[in-house]
């Protein structure tokens, strides 16, 4: 099946990045969100990202204009009926994702593949919300999407080989490198990454080191491009907490217990870069 029109549900930091790479690959893109202001902000973020690529001479002004021209925005989820493939990129809340997939299942024609950019919620449970579990798959992009090469492609127990291959090929068309993961909480990326970030938060919580020294140790000692607390701020502390809760609930193992300090920051609304304050101050 040829994918010509690509739908993205959500215009936040992940959704607008996915929309950008799909449009840059030549697809017609429909990007939806619940408010027009969110759509406008997402489109402005894409324009800014493309401007930086023009400035670096990685694309031309004509490339930028053509990419933007392929993207339309909407607050009406029913517009996804026009798409051949839809990726959900809403916040990491199981109840919200379940509702979106139930709605998409009613809206989209039977042949349409429904993918989730979830970073931890089992694909099988998402697929169970639909009448097409064979056409539901995980397509987990990394942040920032235009720059990061990896896409985790996650098969649920009911995902068909045809759906898997099409999603794999689509990832490559976007200029990404796909990696297959099976359907366990956190998949590969976040089953490894999030406990490390959570442990870094415990080090801060227990005064093992201050935030700068914790990040310096991991950057200079382990050759990470950024420290775990800086990375947590980039990802969003609410997302980090949601993933840790999914791991904890899924494995029933105390080693996945979210650090109380992480929960305290989220309760205070200190979510990282997107709110201007997390472990570091971005105001």
Residues annotated as catalytic are 119, 140, 152, 190
Please list, in sequence order, all residues whose beta carbon lies within 8 angstroms of the beta carbon of residue 129, skipping any fewer than 6 positions away: 98, 101, 102, 105
* CB contact at 8 A, 233 and 239: no
Cα 133–Cα 137–Cα 143 angle in degrees, nearest 5: 155
Q: Quick one: tokens of 259?
A: 């650090």
Burial class (CB in 10 A: 0-12, 13-18, 19+), 68: middle
Q: Quick one: tokens of 45?
A: 């973020």
Q: List the 28-32 sheet strands across, edge first.
A: 71-74, 28-32, 5-9, 85-88, 113-116, 136-141, 150-155, 177-182
* CB contact at 8 A, 141 and 18: yes
Per-position b or e across 213-249, b if 16+ CB within 10 A of its CB? ebbebbeeeeeeeebbbbbbbebbbbbbbbbbbbbbe
Distance CA 204, CA 39 (A): 37
């Amino acid at each position: 099946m040829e994918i010509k029109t690509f739908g993205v549900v959500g215009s936040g930091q992940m959704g607008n990045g996915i929309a950008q790479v799909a449009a840059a690959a030549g697809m017609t893109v429909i990007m939806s969100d619940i408010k027009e202001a969110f759509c406008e902000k997402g489109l402005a973020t894409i324009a800014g990202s493309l401007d930086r690529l023009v400035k670096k001479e990685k694309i031309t002004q004509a490339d930028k204009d053509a990419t933007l021209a392929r993207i339309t925005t909407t607050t009406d989820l029913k517009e996804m009926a026009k798409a051949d493939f839809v990726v959900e990129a809403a916040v990491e809340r199981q109840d919200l994702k379940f509702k979106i997939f139930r709605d998409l299942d009613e809206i989209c024609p039977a042949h349409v593949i429904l993918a989730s950019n979830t970073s931890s919620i089992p694909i099988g449970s998402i697929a169970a919300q639909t009448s097409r579990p064979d056409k539901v798959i995980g397509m987990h992009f990394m942040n920032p999407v235009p720059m990061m090469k990896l896409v985790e492609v996650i098969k649920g127990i009911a995902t068909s080989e045809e759906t898997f291959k099409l999603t794999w090929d689509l990832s490559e068309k976007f200029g990404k490198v796909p990696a297959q993961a099976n359907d366990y909480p956190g998949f590969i990326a976040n089953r490894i990454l999030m406990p490390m970030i959570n442990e870094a938060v415990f080090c801060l919580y227990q005064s093992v080191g201050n935030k700068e020294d914790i990040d310096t140790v991991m950057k200079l000692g382990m050759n990470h491009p950024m420290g775990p607390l800086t990375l947590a701020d980039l990802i969003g502390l609410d997302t980090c907490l949601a993933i840790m809760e999914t791991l904890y609930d899924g494995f029933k193992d105390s080693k996945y217990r979210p650090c109380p300090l992480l929960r305290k920051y989220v309760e205070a609304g200190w979510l990282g870069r997107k709110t201007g304050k997390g472990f570091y101050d971005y105001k």
